[in-house]
Structure 1
Amino acid sequence: MALIKSNSLEAFIVYKLSLVFISIAILVGLLAWQYGLALHWIILVVLSVFSCSFWYIMSFKQQVMRAYTRATLHVDAISQEDYNQFGRSAFPQGKVKAFHQQLKLLSEKLQQQKSHNDQHVYLVYQLIAQLDSPIIIFDENQRLEFGNDAFQHLFNQPWQMYRHASAELLGLQFTPNSWLLKDQSKQAKWQIRHSEFINEGETHQLLVFINIEPALRQSQLNAWQQIIRVLSHEIRNSLTPVSSMAETLADKATDKRDQQVLSVITERCLHLQSFVDRYSSLSRQLTINSQPISIKYLINEVITGLFKDKRIVLKSSLETIWADRELLEQVLINVVKNAFEAQATEILIEVEEQDQYIIMEICDNGHGFANINNLFVPLYTTKKNGQGIGLSFCRNIIEQHGGIMELHNNSQHGVTVMILLPNPQAH
């Protein structure tokens, strides 16, 4: 019986009440025996007492258990985050009523907390959607649940196209304490920061992709600037006296051949001086005067005016584009000139609006680039008489507009230059 007492409340109730009614039955039997009732009457009375006692015990236990059952249903509803279901108290007053009232207050408090959490989650998702860095959220099964608009900068498609896609399908791999991109070219460009959070009882993975290319490029640019400053100082210190002496000797020389030699020396000194001055423009901070520009004017009047005998096709869903007209003209002229120097016979320029950006793609059918990864490196050039400054300066212009400039070899022939510019009218 000791075990029964300690096992459950139901057993405890039956045990205690049974002791009480057994004692009563014995007393009733003794009283009947003292009054001289026949044995069969005594047995009948005792059995009657036992029957009534059993019915009372079961009824009492059922009433007590009903109070717990209703409370349990309420607790189950809370565990399922259903805060609109309330268990009705089996008693209108007393401790049981007070207990159900506390459960109700708990449900209302949890409902308020859930509402606040849902609002916070909604605000977080809205904030994520507005950020410029690609951000994705995986559910507990590592399947894509949400992404922001910048997702397409990394995967070239809106995130909705990959909804519920696995991390493996997206080319992502989870290693202890970190996420990696399987594509090495992307891995070299993007750094992944991740964290976990719980929403609606499930653990989610939040991945933020940080483009480290600008930081690396700035580091490279700083190194080139230092080299250029040192070279400029040394070259100028050497060129100035050499050029001055060459001019002086040329004025005094009587031999025509000597004059020609000294003239070449002076000319090369000036060329080297110009060379150094031009490379200093790579890091020059520009004054950007953005304004609405007619795309037809920009392409038809400027580009085709300089390349009249070339085929340039414009496809645009926009009338105007926001940029510094003179600087953007310089970029387009440089890009188109490079395309025709690469034996292109046709150039297609497409302009469209996408979310908060204006995207301009210049696609040619030339021979493309053999080493596209070094095209933006200062002093690097694939042209026989090139100086390696054009594309670097063009990207500098676009980035100072707050945009992005990328080059890609086409699958068959030619190159596609993508220029992405912020669109103030989209805000």
Structure 2
Amino acid sequence: MSKFFHSFEIRHLLLCSLAPIGAIIAYLLLWVFPHQSIYLKFFTLFVLCVTMVYFCYHFFQQLIYKINVISNLLEAVEQEDFSLRGVTSGAGAFEGVIEQINDISSQLSRHRQQQREMDFLLQKVISNITVAIYALDGSHRLIWCNSAASRMLGTSLDKLIGDTASAWQLDNLLHNANTEHPVVSDHEGRPGRYKVTSDTYMVDGVQNVLLFVSDVDDMLRQEEQKAWQDLLRVISHEINNSLSPIASISQMLQQHYRHHSDNLPPGFTEGIDLINRRARELIAFISSYRQLSKLAPALKERVDLTALVAELPLLFSHRVITLNGPRPLMASLDRVQIHQLLINLIKNADESMGSSADSIDIEWAEEKGRLLITILDRGVGLTNPKNLFVPFYTTKPNGTGIGLILCRQIAESHGGYLSLENRHEQTGCKVTINLPLQSPA
């Protein structure tokens, strides 16, 4: 019964009914007492009319208020503001509508929060997968791509969006998608093999294209590198387990027989020294290969490449090194790693030239948001280019076969690549380092 009287409609209906009921009672009283003054009758009628107008106006204001509340709630839902709630008092049709709108807003708010969480999860997954994903509209313009796509093209996302597929040499991949064999394509001067698939999706009734590109060479290289790292880890462990006792025992023998050399057979002391020295050298030799699996992540900072390159001639004072490039040229690099990369490559160039007095040329430039560093020597050139990045392969008498592999790892950890080829105009080797000026988003 209490809920019945708490209803907005019933409460105001009873309130508005008081005026006509009062009028009926007043006229009945005037009819019972017919000798009352005419002024009293008109005054009573006036009071009753004013009362009825007041109650009707009050009811109208309350009705407008309820309608405005519902209108504001619906407008908030239309504007996707699900935080607004209507206050209800009692029961009734209006209160029921307001409660239903409140429930709808709560459900939509929960669904939007869940959708945001799913979108965030999806963005995390897409950003961390190695497959490059491109979304193209009907005219083959890029409308979206992930981080792997920007790394593949070596530029930032904002420079890709809105551009055509042909501007970034994606038309070849697009036309050869969904084929069994990898597609050979050249991006920023770096030829590669790609597994390409495509699919379509609809936006506002318009068919768009999704392009998925996997770098086959990169996947094979990662598997190859992992296999070598696992092999090196096992070999290093086994050899160190054998060499460490040999080195320790030979050192103990050195110390023990150092004061008793008179009674030793000829060459005994020299043999012990040789065993100890070779054991130490082999331990150091094995330790050098561990660098293949322990390259630290690149700690990038703003570096002036010109100042970095200017330090190189000081390290090779016996060799003439010419420098040619814009000054200054700022880039996002790990200064220590790039410095070591350049030192390794110049050392290779210097050794290939032997005692020749020819110079080494270092050139650098900016091209399409990329940093290009070229090292030109006048040595013997590359005798077996296919084995350049094979671990342990070397043409040097004292080489370890890991220098170029480390250089390539450093370049790739910066989102770039390293290439070597023989010079065409004369003997010698041309080394190209291609790096992004800025870290891709």
Fold-level match, TM-score > 0.5? yes
Q: Which residue of 2 aligns with 1:277?
A: 287
Pair 125,296 (structure 1): closer, same or farther in 2 beyond 3 Å: closer
Specify the code of the residue in structure 1 equivalent to 2:320: R
Check conservation: 1:195, 1:207, Cα contact below 8 A.
yes
Q: Measure, in 2, the Cα distance between the counterparts of 1:239 and 1:290.
A: 38
The aligned runs of 1:134-153 (5 Å cut-off) are 147=165, 150-151=168-169
Cα distance in structure 1, aligned partners of 2:288 and 2:296: 14
Mapping of 1:159-308 within 5 angstroms? 177-178=179-180, 181=183, 189-195=192-198, 209-253=213-257, 254=261, 255=264, 257-300=267-310, 302-308=311-317
Give the counterpart letter for 2:402 in structure 1. Answer: I
Shift of 1:187: 12
Q: By how many angstroms is 1:133 displaced?
A: 6.9
TM-score of the two chains, using structure 2 as the length reference:
0.55
* Corresponding residue to 1:310 among 319, 324, 327: 319
In structure 2, the CA distance between the partners of 1:409 and 1:179, relative to structure 1 (3 Å rule), is same
Please say if 1:357 is aligned against 2:370. Answer: yes
1:348 aligned onto 2:361: yes
Which amino acid in the other structure matches residue 318 of structure 2? D
Distance 2:367 2:146 in 1: 14
For residues 97-125 of structure 1, what are the alpha-carbon distances to aligned partners after superposition, in whole Å with 9 as ceiling and x for unaligned? Answer: xxxxxxxxxxxxxxxxxxxxxx9546952
User: Is 1:388 the equivalent of 2:387?
Assistant: no
User: C-alpha distance in 1, partners of 2:404/2:423?
Assistant: 18
SS in 1 for 2:395: coil
Q: Give, in whole Å, the separation in 2 of the partners of 1:182 and 1:288.
A: 29
Is the partner of 1:273 in helix, strand or coil? helix
* Compared CA separation, residues 208 and 352, structure 1 to 2 (3 A): farther
* Residue equivalent to 2:77: none
After superposition, give the CA deviation of every residue in 1:18-44 in whole Å (9 maximum; x if it has no partner): xxxxxxxxxxxxxxxxxxxxxxxxxxx
Residue type of the alignment partner of 1:251:
Q
1:173–1:181 contact (8 Å) kept in structure 2: no
- CA–CA distance in 2 between the matches of 1:250 and 1:174? 69
Q: Deviations over 1:318-337 (max 9, x none)?
A: 51333122221111111011
Cα distance change of structure 1 residues 181 and 399 upon mapping to structure 2, 3 Å threshold: closer
Counterpart residue identity of residue 226, structure 2: N
Quote the RMSD (CA, aligned, Å): 4.0
Q: Which amino acid aligns with 2:314?
A: G
Structure 1 residue 261: Cα displacement:
0.8
Whether the aligned pair in 2 keeps the contact of 1:133 and 1:150 (CA below 8 Å) is no
Letter in 2 for 1:299: V
Does the Cα contact within 8 Å between 1:250 and 1:258 map onto a contact in 2? no
Q: Distance in 2 between matches of 1:365 and 1:329?
A: 22
User: Equivalent residue of 2:142, what SS?
Assistant: helix
Matched, 1:404 2:417: yes
> Which residue type is aligned with residue 242 of structure 1?
I
Residue 178 of structure 1 and its aligned partner are, at CA, apart by 4.2
What do the CA deviations read for 1:79-114 (whole angstroms, capped 9, x no partner)? xxxxxxxxxxxxxxxxxxxxxxxxxxxxxxxxxxxx
Letter in 1 for 2:214: I
By how many angstroms is 1:147 displaced? 3.1
Q: Which residue of 1 aligns with 2:70?
A: none
C-alpha distance in structure 1 between counterparts of 2:250 and 2:280, whole Å? 12
Q: Give the total of aligned pairs.
A: 282
Structure 1 stretches of 5 or more lacking a match?
Answer: 1-118, 136-144, 152-158
In 2, Cα distance between the equivalents of 1:333 and 1:285? Answer: 16
Query: CA shift at 1:410, angstroms?
Result: 2.1
Helix, strand or coil for the counterpart of 2:144? helix
Q: Which residue of 1 aligns with 2:437?
A: 423
Structure 2 match to 1:46: none
CA distance in 2, matches of 1:307, 1:262: 38
Matches of 2:152 and 2:241 in 1, distance apart?
49
Q: Which has the higher contact order (CA 8 A, sep 6+)?
A: 2
Alpha-carbon displacement from aligned partner over 1:185-206 (angstroms, at most 9, x marks no partner): x99941231437699xxx9998
**Native 8 Å contact 1:129 1:149 kept in 2:** no
Relative distance call for 1:208 and 1:407 in structure 2 (3 A) is farther
Gaps of 5+ in 2: 1-135, 154-162
Q: Which TM-score applies when normalising by structure 1? A: 0.56
1:36-51 aligned within 5 A:
none
Contact 1:180 1:192 in 2 (8 A): yes
Deviation string, structure 1 residues 348-407 (Cα, Å, up to 9, x no partner): 222222223212121222221111121112111111111111111122222222221222
Supply the distance in 2 between the matched residues of 1:123 and 1:232 (Cα, whole angstroms). 52
What is the identity, as a one-letter code, of the residue corresponding to 1:224?
A: W
1:283 CA displacement: 1.3
* 1:251 CA drift (Å): 2.2
Aligned with 2:430: secondary structure? Answer: strand
Q: 1:198 to 1:243 in 2, by over 3 A?
A: closer
Secondary structure of the structure 2 residue equivalent to 1:272: helix
Write the letter of the residue equivalent to 2:436.
P
Task: Give CA deviations for 1:123-157 in whole Å, capped at 9, x if unaligned.
Answer: 9524369933779xxxxxxxxx9535653xxxxxx
When residues 384 and 149 of structure 1 are mapped into structure 2, their CA distance, relative to the original with a 3 A threshold, is farther
1:210-267 superposed Cα distances (whole Å, 9 cap, x missing partner):
3222221221122112221221221122112211221222223314721111011011
Q: What's the CA shift for 1:339?
A: 0.7
SS of corresponding position for 2:267: helix
Aligned 8 A contact 1:295 1:321 in 2: yes
Distance, in Å, in 1 between the alignment partners of 2:179 and 2:440 is: 38
